[in-house]
Amino acid sequence: MAAGPGAGAGAGGARKYDRQLRVWGAEGQERLARARVGVLGLGPAGAEAAKNLALGGVAHLTLVDGRVCSAEDLGNNFFCDQAGLGQPRAAVCCRLLRELNPEVGMAYVEADPAGPDLARPEFLRDLALVVAAGLPRPALAALDTACRAQRTALIAVDCVGLAGTVRLSVQEHCVWDARPDTPAPDLRLDRPWPELEAHCAAAALPGDPESMRALPWAALVLRAASAWRAANEGRAPRRADAAAFREQLPFLAGGSAAPSSPGPSSDAAVATAVAEEPENLREARANCHRVWAPLAACPPELAALLADDEVEAVLAGSPPGSGDTQSSEPPASGSENENFWVLAGALRLFRDRTGELPLEGSLPDMAATTDQYVALQRVYASKAAADASAVMALVQELLALRGRDPSEISPATVARFCRNSRGLQVARYPPIRPPADAAPSGPSASPATPDSSEKEEKQADGDALRALLRAEDTLAPASLYVALQAAEAFVRRHGRHPGCFQGGAEASGGDASAADLEEDVALLKQLVGADAEGLQEDYLQEVVRAGGTQLHTTGALLGGIVAQEAIKLLTLTFVPQRGTLVWDGIACGTRLLELA
């Protein structure tokens, strides 16, 4: 192994990583700067994934490859150059990747990425994530088992010709910050707390149009809803009342002395009247539906998470990992996952006691005077801080119950957790199983007879695949997936790629007659068997035509997807993909298939 001089990407990162800091935040970048990643296989997809992770600023990359740089690499790998011909591909890629970001530590290992030594704890122990590019399924299954034992995330990527797949495998991944594209504001105009109601009631004088113009629309809507309830024996406005509520909103909010008179009759007059309305009133009319169609007190997905066995174990004071989940090894005390479940337990207690989630605390942009907007913002921020403090007290109780120092989780972490509570998620991925026709592999491989649960899982996988092949919208990607799996089975059986008749399993491309190609298509059909009824056979022909070649365009695209998913896993922000992503370069599209 040869080591690089880098020492992580934390120092001076605010300016260097300014753009990505705006995407996943300073805390996400700090996590990235602590992450050590292994990349196994430095073909086009593996090298491109390594490039993107180096530019992202991970702490350290370990590059593993057992091949030498060849003329083929010069055509499909930007991180192999003429000077590196005949040298270890791992060394050449390491040298060129290091130039992109000298602050990232790098090391390379000259070894077969599919070899058993890389599935040992000694190699995986310090890695947060492993990218496996082009590994055969038996070696991938053995690596996945080893990664799960070390709680190391795994991303598998493979590409052949114009097609490829990306799959994630991790025992349990906790999403701390989902960062939805269009987050709905948590304003609680339908159920205001006393301080909010008092602030909005005192914010302007009834019957004073000028002071009403200064109010944010949330204050106008809340004042109108309070007046509506007072006039309707405590009944809140409903969806059926929408037209009347919008029409009477200025009167209900206190900005006019009497209900609005009948509106203008012509479209032009209506447009003129609307244009003359203050902007905050127009915003209030557009958003008053938030009174009768508010955010759920607790989204169904979050309610399911708060009922998870791991939360029950936390509340019972059980050791980490005591919940009835897929985890074979408990998380280490104080790990990100264990802290997540402690915080989730505190969130559950807070919800059960108050009937609400902690307030998020921010306001969307609203037309108003600065002093009125800031004053309302302070009311929301004060309530959010009070809720976070209450959750902090519960966190300290749960930490003490588990025999941990109550100060191990900081108030800032609790505040962020509360702020993002509506988007919390947990992803658990099924393990990668070896193919039925593969010999056992890995450090402790031994022949084994599948138990009944494994047989049931394989039967379920087969049923899911047949269902995808029967559905019109998933027929093409499912056919391509089957073709790629058949091509790998072809290599195991015949020692070469379909459509390649020279050099064995390590070679690709080459000349072949039409009869030879048709013969390989027929052999692939035999490997597919009767389980793939309805398969689009054009994809079998495309796999044979590719002859095992890896194109740079395909590798670059898949390498970008791999790095994107890796950053989601490492930063704990955004929701990683679930299932197997299939890239079809012929149709220029991707599809996620729920397949194990």
State the number of CA atoms in the 13 A half-sphere of 227 facing the CB: 20
State the Rg of the chain over Cα. 29
The C-alpha atoms of residue 395 and residue 574 are separated, in whole angstroms, by 24
| Strand ranges for 79-214 from DSSP E | 105-110, 129-133, 153-160, 163-169, 173-175
Give 446's strand partners: none
Confirm if 567 and 37 have CB atoms less than 8 A apart.
Answer: no
Q: Is 496 exposed, middle or buried (0-12, 13-18, 19+ CB in 10 A)?
A: buried
Give one DSSP letter per residue of 8-74, joined into a string.
-S-TTHHHHTHHHHHHHHHHHHHHHHH-EEEEE--SHHHHHHHHHHHHHT-SEEEEEE-SBP-HHHH
Q: List the alpha helices (DSSP H) in 77-166.
A: 89-100, 121-124, 137-149
Confirm if 168 and 569 have CB atoms less than 8 A apart.
Answer: yes
Characterise 509 by phi-psi region: left (phi > 0), alpha (psi -120 to 50), beta (else): left
DSSP letter (8 states) at residue 254? T
Predicted confidence at residue 204, as pLDDT, reads 77
**Which residue, among 336, 306, 334, has the nearest Cα to 176 in the 3D structure?**
336
Confirm if 359 and 383 have CB atoms less than 8 A apart.
Answer: yes
SS3 6: coil
Q: What are phi and psi of 4, to 5 degrees?
A: -100, 170
Beta strand 36-40 with 60-65: parallel, antiparallel or unpaired?
Answer: parallel
Confirm if 57 and 15 have CB atoms less than 8 A apart.
Answer: no
**Which residue, among 315, 343, 314, 358, has the nearest Cα to 413 in the 3D structure?**
343
Predicted confidence at residue 260, as pLDDT, reads 47
Residue whose token pair is 């009869």: 515
Q: Give residue 71's identity as a one-letter amino acid code.
A: A
Give 505's strand partners: none
Q: From 3.30.70.260, 3.40.50.920, 3.40.50.720, 3.30.300.130, which CATH number describes the 2-175+552-593 domain?
A: 3.40.50.720
CB atoms within 10 A of CB 315: 18
Domain parsing of the chain, residue ranges: 2-175+552-593, 194-290, 300-365+380-427, 452-546
Predicted confidence at residue 194, as pLDDT, reads 96
Predicted confidence at residue 268, as pLDDT, reads 53
Tokens of 172: 């349990």
The C-alpha atoms of residue 484 and residue 542 are separated, in whole angstroms, by 10
DSSP letter (8 states) at residue 168? E
Predicted confidence at residue 5, as pLDDT, reads 42
Confirm if 591 and 584 have CB atoms less than 8 A apart.
Answer: yes
State the number of CA atoms in the 13 A half-sphere of 347 facing the CB: 31
Tokens of 196: 């909010």
Give 167's strand partners: 156, 580
Predicted confidence at residue 208, as pLDDT, reads 75
Characterise 25 by phi-psi region: left (phi > 0), alpha (psi -120 to 50), beta (else): left
CA dist list (Å): 60 to 106, 156, 376: 6, 19, 45
Q: Give residue 523's identity as a one-letter amino acid code.
A: L
CB atoms within 10 A of CB 174: 21
Q: How many helices (H) and strands (E) does the chain have?
A: 23, 11
Q: Give residue 456's identity as a one-letter amino acid code.
A: E
The C-alpha atoms of residue 8 and residue 314 are separated, in whole angstroms, by 34
**Tens of each residue's pLDDT in the chain, 596 residues:** 554 443 333 446 678 888 898 899 889 999 999 999 999 999 999 999 999 999 999 999 999 999 999 999 999 999 999 999 999 999 999 999 999 999 999 999 999 999 988 999 999 999 999 999 999 999 999 999 999 999 999 999 999 999 999 999 999 999 999 998 888 899 999 999 999 999 999 987 777 777 888 999 999 999 999 999 999 999 999 999 999 999 999 988 885 545 544 555 555 544 555 557 899 999 999 999 999 999 999 999 999 999 999 999 999 987 766 665 554 455 655 689 999 999 999 999 999 999 999 999 999 999 999 999 999 999 999 999 999 999 999 999 999 999 999 999 999 999 999 999 999 999 999 999 998 776 555 554 554 455 666 677 778 878 888 899 999 999 999 999 999 999 999 999 999 999 988 765 666 666 678 888 999 999 999 988 766 778 898 999 999 999 999 999 999 999 999 999 999 999 999 999 999 999 999 999 999 998 86
Residue whose token pair is 């203050």: 278
CB atoms within 10 A of CB 517: 17
Long-range contacts of 584-592 (CB under 8 A, 24+ apart): 584/162, 584/163, 584/476, 584/477, 584/480, 585/161, 585/162, 585/163, 585/164, 585/553, 585/554, 586/162, 586/163, 586/542, 587/476, 590/561, 591/474, 591/476, 591/477
Tokens of 227: 């007046």
The C-alpha atoms of residue 595 and residue 460 are separated, in whole angstroms, by 9
The C-alpha atoms of residue 123 and residue 299 are separated, in whole angstroms, by 41
Burial 125-155 (b: 16+ CB within 10 A, else e): eebbbbbbbbbbbbbbbbbbbbbbebbbbbb
In this structure, what is the dihedral angle of CA atoms 433, 439, 440, 441, given to the nearest 10 degrees? -100
CB atoms within 10 A of CB 92: 26
Confirm if 48 and 166 have CB atoms less than 8 A apart.
Answer: no
Predicted confidence at residue 6, as pLDDT, reads 39
Confirm if 179 and 423 have CB atoms less than 8 A apart.
Answer: yes
**Which residue, among 242, 247, 243, has the nearest Cα to 289 in the 3D structure?**
242
* Per-residue pLDDT tens over the stretch 158-180: 999 999 999 999 999 999 999 98
